[in-house]
Amino acid sequence: MIAKRVFDIVFSLGGMIFLSPIFIVIVILLRLDSKGSIFYKQLRVGLNQKNFKLIKFRTMYTDSDRAGLLTIGDHDSRITRVGCWLRKYKIDELPQLMNILKGEMSFVGPRPEVLKYVELYDASQIKVLSVKPGITDWASIQYIDENQLLAAAEDPESFYINTIIPSKITQNLKYIDHHNLWVDLKIISYTLKSIIRR
């Protein structure tokens, strides 16, 4: 959709300019809080199964992802003090404005997953890769406290694979079949409300 891409370009560029003072503050806080790079880049699977590097502000200690891809609760020992705050208000996701500007992502679309979990998709679920991934979607709103759900699970990874992923994909498939710019604006609005309530 041309309108969707124009929206993405205009608002991602505008957002990066408008938020640049906040970005500077975050960079300073991250430098003071712990050693490591400012950004965390992780390979994700995007449109038509093409891999790309998703960009976030680093919220964990360097090389923490070697202990596992899932973060369990807000008090996961691998998360830095500043990182905990960035995650709570989803501020760590803001660098994905660069992914949007590059055309790898959109503001709204199925959240991109790592290859490890995409390889578990069945033939019907793989349809979620027929659209650009996004920063937010209906599933992101429902699972805004996903880390807490994982923390309460007896086997977090099994719960993620067998319960959360299928639920998210079901919602994403419905979005793919019934989406337009108005729906995207509703999702963005509900996402902001959910974050503010936190």
Model confidence at 75: pLDDT above 80 = no
Rg of the chain (C-alpha set): 16
Instruction: Determine the average pLDDT of the residues in 25-41.
Output: 95
User: pTM above 0.85?
Assistant: yes
Model confidence at 190: pLDDT above 90 = yes
Per DSSP, the three-state class of 136 is strand
* Residue 23 contacts residue 81 (beta carbons within 8 Å): no
Model confidence at 67: pLDDT above 90 = no
Residue 113: phi, psi to the nearest 5? -110, 160
Model confidence at 74: pLDDT above 70 = no
Site of tokens 């891809």: 69
Instruction: Determine the average pLDDT of the residues in 41-67.
Output: 93
Per DSSP, the three-state class of 42 is strand
Q: In whole numbers, what is the pLDDT of the chain averaged over residues? A: 94
Residue 7: CB partners within 8 Å, gap ≥ 6?
107, 181, 184
Per residue in 116-151, pLDDT (tens digit) is: 999 999 999 999 999 999 999 999 999 999 988 998
End-to-end CA distance of the chain: 33
